[in-house]
Amino acid sequence: MNVALRNPARTVEVAGPIMVGDLLRRLGLDREAHLVIRNGTLVPGDARLEDADAVEVRPVISGG
């Protein structure tokens, strides 16, 4: 599956199926600091991603 990453913007290819938590570990990203979006919908850390899914990983941004 193609995984779109932000900050910096890039796309990587990852073989699926894969669990969200495993994907983030493989990419070296912290689950608490990133959101995973599948086909336009935010998904939990225990969700399974398939090869056909459009996946985007965004850093969590907070402000006040």
What three-state secondary structure class fits 20?
A: helix
10 Å CB burial of residue 18 (0-12, 13-18, 19+) is buried
Cis peptide before 59 (omega within 30 of 0): no
What global pTM score does this model have?
Answer: 0.87
* Distance in angstroms (rounded) separating the CA atoms of residues 49 and 46: 10
Residue with tokens 């998904």: 43
pLDDT tens figures, 19-49 = 999 999 999 999 999 999 999 999 998 999 9
Domains of the chain: 2-59 (3.10.20.30)
